[in-house]
Amino acid sequence: MANLFDLTGKVAIVVGGAGGIGHAQALGLAKAGADVVVASRKLEHLEPVAKEIQAEGRRSLDVPVEVTQEKSVVAMLDSFLKEFPHVDILVNAHGLAIRKPADTFPLDEWQQVMDVNTRGTFICCQARRVVA
């Protein structure tokens, strides 16, 4: 029986790959055989993750991205396409959580959460469709 979790030859982008969940997902994809591009706002947080992926014998690329900015997402994909021919898997693991009681939550902070978590995911999915 074939290994259902074998991702050899697949290429994944993990947006939010420097965070706890994204980091774990990126490593899991690499351990399953995928090459993995990790993207997040701060490049210095991505470099250690990319090295862990490479230690699994997989190719990796670390790319900065601001998911709320369409131009930044397009630039991330441009960097990606210089190294990899296609995208097989897109993981949107980025996210923003502001921990405050709802009755004290300023509207501008709520909008920031919505921009990152909802709009950012939409932008990444739309851009990924362009290169699919």
> What is the pLDDT, as a whole number, of residue 1?
54
pLDDT at 32 over 90: yes
> What is the pLDDT, as a whole number, of residue 127?
85
Give the separation between CA 70 and CA 12, rounded to whole angstroms.
20
Give the separation between CA 25 and CA 41, rounded to whole angstroms.
17
pLDDT at 51 over 80: yes
> What is the pLDDT, as a whole number, of residue 44?
87
> What is the pLDDT, as a whole number, of residue 130?
54
All structural domains of the chain: 11-131 (3.40.50.720)
pLDDT at 97 over 80: yes
**Residues 6 or more apart whose Cβ sits within 8 Å of residue 76:** 13, 15, 39, 63, 64, 65
pLDDT at 128 over 80: no
Which residue type does 7 have? L
Per-residue pLDDT tens digits for 57-90: 999 999 999 999 999 999 999 888 899 988 899 9
pLDDT at 101 over 80: yes
* Greater pLDDT, 105 or 12: 12
Which residue type does 88 have? D
Task: Reduce the DSSP state of residue 71 to 3 states and report it.
Answer: helix
> What's the Rg (C-alpha) of the chain?
15
